[in-house]
């Protein structure tokens, strides 16, 4: 109902002297609080009601939280508890559900826990609707153990209780528990609904559980000829994640009607399964059918274009995004920057970056990494300094890009400085990727003592790839003595676990004339049970 029409009805209420009717007052509060533009009128009406009921309170609370006045809603609730609005007023289950749901939406776990305590003290945690809201709240904060405990303590449960915990497991990436709870639910004879199935199918996608996924699909087909769009779309996603893209496409083709989410699911499914040509064909079909793609559609198409290394497709995507009103999307601009960087077109990537109305840390990082992978380290550093001038805070991935740029461009002093800035100014803990860049940078420059000192003093334990870089660099730069001593140290630490590591060791020992150790290393190649650890060393040129 439009505000103007609502105000007209309010005038009729006043003319007919119905303003003292509490049901009418509650309805008007509900109406005015439906919009941020008229929430003030709702508050004015509420303040003027001499004898409020819990329903009145709930209408006002619901409106305040809907319009993001969470703290005002809490203040109103505290007044109820303190008896400031009348001794006879007390919160009911609806009041508590409104507030607990507000804690979930506005990210306030501590208030949620306080509300839980009030529930237990005043109502004995016996209200199913409140219990369900608490399960959802705890799950939304990742406190899945609290949600579990509450679920099992509930004297009675309804379907919403089961759905809340199943969805909670799924959102917290515990698909196996979601499936296990569903099987318990079935064993107790609790019938499921659409919400259950959507959560469960998503859990099957996470765990790649085709057995349960197929069972759900078969049951859905037995129940109805046409599977509802949300469930069919979730099935498409599940089969795509499980590598059964042909079944996903069959479900898509059989849908009598589709929304853009359905198209997005099948496009992303093709991209994830390495069939980017099919994804591009579907995008062209969307245009023929005059559907309106959204941000997710375009992200999928950008990924397809990137996989195909199709530069001309990339220009078409850029043109389409600019014409369709999506050019202001930070997410899409970031994806376009990444795409053009991987095409080697940094001038286009930088142009998109420059035109962005709003940038986030991913935007800056994408340009920095783009320059780094294209061997333009100085420009990467320039963008990094511009980022700091713009008071954008770099993250761990930003520094991987910066250090990689220094590594591949031979900017050793800059690299050392950037590493110090990361640790000292931003309190970021170095990860193996940062340390790998530093070791490779020293090794490329022939600074083997500095590389060795860095590895000895690394804040984390070096992995096989880092040792491999260092040993390989010693061989490249003719430091066979240092290389052999490093191999001694690594074998003693049992850090090598790949046959090629022992080949490198054997060759290093041979170059230093240690023939007994050569024989030992070759014997280890034949007797050790090896676990393959992937990686590449830019110094040795050996693929790991």
Scan for tokens 């498409």, then name that residue. Answer: 236
Give the span between the Cα atoms of 36 and 311, in whole angstroms.
46
Scan for tokens 């009911």, then name that residue. Answer: 92
pLDDT-derived band at 515 (thresholds 50, 70, 90) equals very low
The confidence score (pLDDT) of residue 487 equals 60
Scan for tokens 């119905």, then name that residue. Answer: 18
Is the per-residue pLDDT at 49 higher than 80? no
Q: Report yes or no: 422 and 434 within 8 Å, Cβ to Cβ.
A: yes
pTM higher than the cut 0.95: no
Bridge partners of 536, per DSSP, are: 543
Is the per-residue pLDDT at 396 higher than 90? yes
Is the per-residue pLDDT at 496 higher than 50? no
Q: Report yes or no: 467 and 434 within 8 Å, Cβ to Cβ.
A: no
Q: State how far the alpha carbon of 491 is from the alpha carbons of 294, 470, 505, in Å.
A: 54, 14, 9
**43: nearest Cα among 18, 82, 6, 76:** 76
The confidence score (pLDDT) of residue 210 equals 94
> pLDDT (tens digit, 9 = 90+) per residue, 451-491?
989 988 999 988 878 877 777 777 776 666 665 566 656 55
Is the per-residue pLDDT at 413 higher than 50? yes
The residue-averaged pLDDT of 167-187 equals 93
The confidence score (pLDDT) of residue 542 equals 39
Higher pLDDT, 223 or 123: 223
Give the span between the Cα atoms of 506 and 487, in whole angstroms.
9
> pLDDT (tens digit, 9 = 90+) per residue, 121-152?
776 667 899 999 999 999 999 999 999 999 99
pLDDT-derived band at 544 (thresholds 50, 70, 90) equals very low
The residue-averaged pLDDT of 67-75 equals 87
Bridge partners of 543, per DSSP, are: 536
Across the chain, mean pLDDT equals 84
Q: Report yes or no: 33 and 64 within 8 Å, Cβ to Cβ.
A: yes
The confidence score (pLDDT) of residue 398 equals 97
Q: Report yes or no: 464 and 500 within 8 Å, Cβ to Cβ.
A: no
189, two tokens: 């004879």
The residue-averaged pLDDT of 62-91 equals 81
**How open is the CA angle 262-265-271, to the nearest 5 degrees?**
145
The residue-averaged pLDDT of 367-391 equals 96
Element spanning 341, H or E: helix 330-342
């Amino acid at each position: 109902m439009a505000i103007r029409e609502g105000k007209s009805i309010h005038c009729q209420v006043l003319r007919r002297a119905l303003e003292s009717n509490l049901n009418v007052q509650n309805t008007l509060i509900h109406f005015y609080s439906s919009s941020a533009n008229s929430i003030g009128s709702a508050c004015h009406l509420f303040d003027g009601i001499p004898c409020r009921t819990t329903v009145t309170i709930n209408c006002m609370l619901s409106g305040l939280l809907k319009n993001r006045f969470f703290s005002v809603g809490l203040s109103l609730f505290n007044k109820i508890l303190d008896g400031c609005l009348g001794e006879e007023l007390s919160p009911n289950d609806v009041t508590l559900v409104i507030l607990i749901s507000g804690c979930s939406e506005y990210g306030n776990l501590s208030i949620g826990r306080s509300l839980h305590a009030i529930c237990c003290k005043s109502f004995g945690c016996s209200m199913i609707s409140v219990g369900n809201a608490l399960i959802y709240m705890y799950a939304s904060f990742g406190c899945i153990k609290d949600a579990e405990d509450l679920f099992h303590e509930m004297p009675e449960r309804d379907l919403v209780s089961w759905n809340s915990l199943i969805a909670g497991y799924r959102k917290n990436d515990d698909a196996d528990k979601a499936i296990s709870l569903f099987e318990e639910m079935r064993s107790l004879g609790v019938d499921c609904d659409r919400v259950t199935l959507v959560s469960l199918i998503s859990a099957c996608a996470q765990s790649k559980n085709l057995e349960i996924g197929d069972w759900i699909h078969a049951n859905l087909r037995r129940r109805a000829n046409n599977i509802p769009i949300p469930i069919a779309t979730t099935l498409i996603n599940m089969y795509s994640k499980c590598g059964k893209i042909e079944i996903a496409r069959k479900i898509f083709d059989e849908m009598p009607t589709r929304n853009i989410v359905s198209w997005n699911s099948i496009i992303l499914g093709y991209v994830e399964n390495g069939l980017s040509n099919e994804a591009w064909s579907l995008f062209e079909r969307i245009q023929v059918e005059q559907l309106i793609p959204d941000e997710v559609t375009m992200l999928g198409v950008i990924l397809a274009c990137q996989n195909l290394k199709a530069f001309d497709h990339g220009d078409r995507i850029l043109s389409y995004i600019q014409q369709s009103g999506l050019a202001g999307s930070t997410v899409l601009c970031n994806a376009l920057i990444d795409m053009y960087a991987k095409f080697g077109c940094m001038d286009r990537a930088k142009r998109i970056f420059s035109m962005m109305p709003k940038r986030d840390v991913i935007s800056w990082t994408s340009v920095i990494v783009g320059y780094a992978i294209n061997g333009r380290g100085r420009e990467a550093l320039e963008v990094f300094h511009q980022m700091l001038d713009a008071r954008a805070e770099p993250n761990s991935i930003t520094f991987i890009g910066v250090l990689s740029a220094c590594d591949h461009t031979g900017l050793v002093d800059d690299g050392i400085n950037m590493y110090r800035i990361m640790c000292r100014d931003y309190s970021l803990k170095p990860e193996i990727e940062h340390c790998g860049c530093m070791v490779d940078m020293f090794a490329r420059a022939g600074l083997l003592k500095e590389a060795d000192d860095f590895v000895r003093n690394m804040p984390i334990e070096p992995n096989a790839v880092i040792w491999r870089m260092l040993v390989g660099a010693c061989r490249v730069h003719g430091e066979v003595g240092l290389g052999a001593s490093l191999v001694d140290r690594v074998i003693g630490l049992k850090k090598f676990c790949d046959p090629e590591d022992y080949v490198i060791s054997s060759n290093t020992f041979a170059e230093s004339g240690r023939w007994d150790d050569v024989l030992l290393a070759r014997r280890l190649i034949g007797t050790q049970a090896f676990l393959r650890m992937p990686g590449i060393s830019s110094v040795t040129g050996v693929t790991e």
